[in-house]
Amino acid sequence: MKKELLTALLASALMSPLAIADAVKQGKEIAWSRKKGNCLTCHMMDGGQQTGNSGPPLMSMKARYPDKAALREQIWDPTKRNPLTNMPPFGRNKILTEAEIDQVVEYLYSL
C-alpha cells in the first residue's frame, strides 16, 4: 500500500499540465458514473443534480486536504478514520482500481 501511494504521488508530482487535465476529465467520469464512484449518491458536488446528502459537499478540496495523500487515503479506505462511516472503501474493496483512484483525486483537487 505504501509503495503504491508513493508511486501515485510521484506520478502526480511529475504530471504535465496536460496530463493533469486529462486525469481530471477521466476522474470526473469515474466519480459521476453510477457503476464506478457514484459519488453523487451521497455528495453534493460540481453542479450535479439530485445529489444525496449523507456525505459532506465536495468543494474546496485543496483547502480541506492540503495533503493530497490524506485525500487519497480517505477514498482508499475511509473506515480507517471512522469505522462507522457510510463511505465505501474504494481501494480496500477494489471498487476502483489504483489508477482510477488517482484520477478521482485529481478531479476532486480541481473542485
Partner 1 sequence: MKIIIRGTLATLGLGIALGVSAGPVEDQAAFQKYYESRFPNTPTADFANGVYSILPEAREQWESIEEFPPYEIAIENGEKLYHSKFANGKSLADCFGPEGAVRGQYPLWDKDRGMVVTMERAVNECREANGEKPYGWKKGKIADVTAYMSYNSRGQEVKVDIPSNDPRALAAYEDGKEHFYTKRGQLNFACADCHMLTAGNLYRADTTSPAFGHATSWPVFRSKWQSMGTLHRRFAGCHNNIRANPYKAQGAEYSNLEYFVTYMSNGLDFNGPAARK
Write each residue from 43 to 72 as x if it is in contact with partner 1 (CB under 8 A), else as -, in one continuous string.
-------xxxxx------------------
Burial of 96 (0-12, 13-18, 19+ CB in 10 A): buried
Distance CA 29, CA 68 (A): 20
36 binds partner 1 (CB under 8 A): no
Q: Please, which residue, 5 or 42, has the CB nearer to partner 1?
A: 42
Give the total of residues touching partner 1 (CB under 8 A): 17
79 touches 85 (CB < 8 A): yes
41 binds partner 1 (CB under 8 A): yes
Sign of the C-alpha dihedral computed for residues 34, 39, 43 and 45 taken in this order: negative
Which positions touch partner 1 (CB under 8 A)? 40-42, 50-54, 79, 83-84, 86, 88-89, 93-95
